[in-house]
Every structure is written in structure tokens, then in C-alpha cells.
Amino acid sequence: MRLSELLAELPAALAPQRRLGEGDPVVRGVRYDSRDVAPGDLFVALRGSLADGHDYLPQALHLGAAALLVDALPASLPAPAVAVQVPDTRRALAPIAARFFGRPAEELDLVGVTGTNGKTSTSFLVESILCAAGRRVGLIGTIEVRFADERRRSVNTTPESLDLQRTLREMRTRGIDAVSMEVSSHGLELGRVEGCRFRAAAFTNLTQDHLDFHGDMEHYVAAKARLFRDHLAPGAAAVVNVDDRWAPTFLDAARAASARLVRVSRRPEAEAEVVVERADVRLDGTRAVLRVPGGRLELESPLVGEFNVENVAVAVGVAVGLGLPHEAVARGVAACPQVPGRVERVSAAGEGPIVLVDYAHTPDAVEKLLRTLRPLAAGRLIAVFGCGGDRDRGKRPLMAKAVAAYADRAIATSDNPRTEDPEAILDDVERGLDALTRVAPEALDATPRAWARVADRRRAIELAISIARPEDTVAIAGKGHEDYQIVGRARLPFDDREEARRALRRRAGGARP
């Protein structure tokens, strides 16, 4: 494919401004990581938070790049290479990638799920329902990308546009015809899903998160709403949880796009297409009755939590929007597997407390998790939680307040501290724990309504499980499926589930931290 063919895909706002070098080279591949460049590739220089692709132009040329896409031209260029300057290389990458891979999104039924919490579980449910309806389905999200017999760990919730288009082409080549996909606010704001038009889009909820990137809630909401405003296919279904305070923004965006509205609510009296009439949530799963167009659905799900009732309802809304049969919806919900790191139960040899690991890392998610577990816990509810470094500091005391409202014992610890001092992060967290009594770790078990500060996450998990009685419930929040901890710039092996199993084995053997 010629460079000129790719550049012709750019809209006017991203059109080439200047160029260096002559000719119209054949482009054999497109890359944004200079280490992956092969002869004949187009190298697209992206500016990131940690590195700038423009610093690696010489390396890309040395490896044989035939052309460069930049937002600042280099001083010189060896023949016969060509450099083209555009206003924004990251946004330009999306239409170029779509064209290079033959616009695979147009050959697939895409379902996009956005929101602060619940995206992963809802996308798993949608995948399961589509499979039950006889579709060949791919999944793209926070935990992994999977299709056919492929499973790949995810780097971002929504992949960079080049990786996304490449993956969609691979999926189509392998016979996939529908994709359930998490669509993040970063992915929307950075243009990663340009070139994708979704047959159905779903909004779960929106609460404070990612303000370090978006600046304020208004910009965060606007980024999420792009999915409905800019990325729906003609006649698409827009599924909106109308119980959320920000729902009107998404409804307005969907109406502006002439989408078919599918409103979802947990309130039995609500005017909505999908309504939860009743739900019975237990630690072994959930039973619910939903009112949908054409009748009622009686559903059973292995997923636990009041928030998963909302996720099931939104996934059913997607099924309604796609016109899937009720029987397939019920089978799909029942067959949806445990979502890794989402109220995931951890066990080891011997008897012990109930230990649950969850990805909750926002005030709303932590509040929903513990509010759900509070009435289900036969004994005390012991919470282990932390807040990420180099992220929105404003949510730290809010997460702590949610913990203090429901936990009998709490341990504040590190999450992914990144380049921040873990103790400084805990200083922010502490401001939200004034409803509990601060005690030394060794006094936590004996002190009602107390919390302790243990920066070492491994020790914090060990402490929680060592003091738990057989009837107690231990909730470990924040990292969920992640099998690493980011300290400084290093990504170190660390898995809450493995640490909990280790602590349970230590407990069974009589050892204490």
C-alpha cells in the first residue's frame, strides 16, 4: 500500500502540513514502537507520558523505516525516506490503521461498554450472551483480549488504535463476527476507537475517577459520552443506566446520534425498557427477575454483588437492543464465568474465613462492594485497601470514607504507589478514616471499629487473614486481577489472590505475620 493511500484517509483537521523527502514509498507495515520497525514500515511517532517517539526517529530509520509520521519534522532525513508532519500523530494513527488493515470494524458487530465501574463484568456478560445466541465472539478489555483459541494480556483497557485495528482484523480472519469491548475514557479522548462504529453501546455508571487525566468531572463525562455521540453505527442501540445521575448526558448524546434508546433501571417503578423487579444476592450467586419488552426474564448468575445486578441488567439491555432471544439471554447470564478479580473468592486447604478479591479502586466501587458484603457477612467485615500513586488524590479520602462506613476492621495499605511515597499516599487516605479508631496493627483484632496502617501490602493481607475468624469476611480491594505492583517505574510480581492463598496456608499452619 502506498503512503499516499494512507494519508488520503486523514480528515481535514489532521491533513499533512509539511513533508521532508520525495517519493511515495510502499508501506509494508505500520509501527509506533521503534524497536518493532522492519524495512518498509511507516513509523508513527507518538508523544507519551514517559517517552516521546520523536526521540527514536534515528533508530526507526536505522531499522529500515520507509516513512515517518511526525508532528515536528526532523532537521534532516536520509534518502529515500520520507517524513510527513501532521497536527496530531496519535489521532492520525487511527484512520491510517483502519485503512491499512482494511477497515475490519465494518465487518464486525461491535458492542462497546463504557462507564467508571462495571465495564469488565458487563463485557464478560455480553460475550457470554452472544455466545449463547450462536455468535462467534471476541472480547477486548481490561483483563485480556480473547478470541477463538487466542488469549492475550491487555496493556490498556482500550488498545492503541493500531493494536485495536490489527486485533479486529485478526478476529475477522479467525471467523469472529461480534466483539464485546470495553471503551475507556482515555481510549475515547485519545482517539483510539476512531474508525469503529458500534452496533450497540452501553453506559454502566459514572463516578469520580481519572481526574488526573481529564481535569474535572465535566471533561470526564464528555469523554465518555463520545462513544454515544461520535461512534454509533446507523440504527445502533444505546443502552443507558438511567439510575445514574449522569444518565441525561448519555441519553442526549444518543438522541443526537438518532440511536434506539434502551433504558435500564433497578427501580421497579421506572419508565425503562429493562427493569429489575427483584433480586436475591447471596455469596454463592444471584437470582433476579427482569421486566423486558415482551415479558419477564428469570435469571440466575454466579456473579455476586448488588452492583452485578446492575451489570446483568445493562448486559440484558444490550441483548434487547440487539434483538437476541430471551432463552439465549438466560443461558448466557447463567454461563458467564467468574470474572477474574471481581468479587473473586480465594480459598486454600483447611477451613478459614471467606476471602474475596476485587478490583474496586474508586469511591463508588468500594462503597458498592462493602455495602453488598455487609449484610452477607456472617461475622466481621475486614477490609484491606489502598490508593494508586500518581493518580487523582481527591478520591483517596473518599475511598477511605466508604471503607469506614461499612468495615468492622480496616487496613490501609499500598496499591500501586508508582513514583509517590507510599506513606504520603496513606496520609491522604487517613483523612477519610476518622469514623474509625486508629490502632497499631497488633491491636486491630481486639479493637472494635478500628483501622491500622500497614504500607507493605503483603503484610497487610497477612494481617487481615490472620486475625479473621472462621465466620468473618475479608475483602481485599483495589488490584483485583492484576499480578503486579508498580513501585517507582518497576512492575514487580504481586497478585492479591496468590498472597491471600499464601496467608490462608500460613493461617492453617498456625503461623502469624
Residue with cell 488504535: 161
* Structural contact between residues 248 and 228, judged by C-beta atoms closer than 8 angstroms: no
**Which pTM value belongs to this model?**
0.87
C-alpha separations of 286 from 174, 277, 306, 315, 403 in Å = 34, 13, 9, 15, 24
Query: In terms of domains, do 323 and 363 share one?
Result: no
Residue 109 and residue 148 in one domain:
yes
Residues 57 and 180 both lie in one domain: no
Q: Is residue 169 part of a domain?
A: yes
Work out the pLDDT band at 352, boundaries 50, 70, 90.
confident
Which tens digit of pLDDT belongs to each residue from 414-466? 999 999 999 999 999 999 999 999 999 999 999 999 999 999 999 999 999 99
User: Are residues 313 and 453 located together in one domain of the fold?
Assistant: no
Is residue 468 included in any domain, yes or no?
yes
Domain end: 288, 311, 335, which one?
Answer: 335
User: Is 429 a member of any domain?
Assistant: yes
Q: What CATH number did the domain enclosing 141 receive?
A: 3.40.1190.10
Residue 17 lies in a domain: yes
Instruction: State how far the Cα of 120 lies from the Cα of 426, in Å rounded to an integer.
Output: 28
Cross-strand pairs, 355: 346, 474
The number of distinct structural domains making up the chain is 3
Does 468 lie in the same domain as 352? yes
Mean pLDDT score, 331-348: 92
Tens of pLDDT, residues 3-56: 999 999 999 999 999 999 999 999 999 999 999 999 999 999 999 878 899 999
Domain that holds residue 306: 104-335
Residue 96 belongs to some domain of the structure: no
- 238-280 pLDDT per residue, tens: 999 999 999 999 999 999 999 999 999 999 999 999 999 999 9
- The letter for the amino acid at 359 is Y
Residues 6 or more apart whose CB falls under 8 angstroms from that of 313 comprise 241, 264, 265, 266, 274, 276, 288, 290
Q: How far apart (Å, rounded) are the C-alpha atoms in residues 389 and 385?
A: 13
| Of 302, 335, 368, the domain-final residue | 335
Q: Based on the fold, state whether residues 221 and 291 are members of the same structural domain.
A: yes
pLDDT at 224 over 60: yes
Domain CATH code at residue 387: 3.90.190.20
Please spell the DSSP secondary structure of 470-492, one letter per residue. Answer: TT-EEEEES-TT--EEEETTEEE
Does residue 95 sit within a domain?
A: no
The span from the CA of 507 to the CA of 502, in Å, is 9
pLDDT beyond 70 at 138: yes
Write out pLDDT tens, residues 171-192.
999 999 999 999 998 889 888 9
Handedness of CA 109, 115, 121, 122 (dihedral sign): negative
- Supply 413's cell numbers: 495499605
Q: Based on the fold, state whether residues 109 and 205 are members of the same structural domain.
A: yes
The count of C-alpha atoms lying within 13 angstroms of the C-alpha of 273, restricted to the half-sphere facing its C-beta, is: 19
Confirm whether 513 is domain-assigned. Answer: no
Write the CATH number for 74: 3.40.1390.10
Say if residue 119 is in the same domain as residue 48. Answer: no
Looking at the structure, do residues 139 and 178 belong to the same domain, yes or no?
yes
Asked if 195 and 91 count as a contact pair (C-beta separation under 8 A), the reply is no
Asked if residue 420 is part of any domain, the answer here is yes
Place of cell 482484523: 169
Rounded Cα–Cα distance for residues 308 and 272 (Å) = 19
276, 310, 335: which is the final residue of a domain?
Answer: 335
In sequence order, what are the residues at sequence separation of 6 or more whose Cβ sits closer than 8 angstroms to the Cβ of residue 497? 341, 344, 346, 357
DSSP string, 368-423: HHHHHHHHH-SS-EEEEEEE-TTS-TTHHHHHHHHHHHH-SEEEEEES--BTS-HH
The DSSP code for 173 is: H
* Predicted local distance difference test score (pLDDT) of residue 109: 98
For residues 188 and 319, state if they share a domain. yes
DSSP alpha helices (H): ranges in 30-88?
A: 57-62
Query: What's the length of the chain?
Result: 513
**Same domain, residue pair 47 and 122:** no
Angle at which helix 395-406 crosses helix 363-376, to 10 degrees, equals 10
477-505: pLDDT as tens digits: 999 999 999 999 999 999 999 999 999 99
pLDDT band at 215 (very low <50, low <70, confident <90, very high): confident
Residue of 107 and 154 predicted with greater confidence? 107
H/E element, 215: none
**Distance, first Cα to last Cα, the chain:** 62
Contact yes or no for 406/503 (Cβ under 8 A): no
- Same domain membership, residue 502 and residue 460: yes
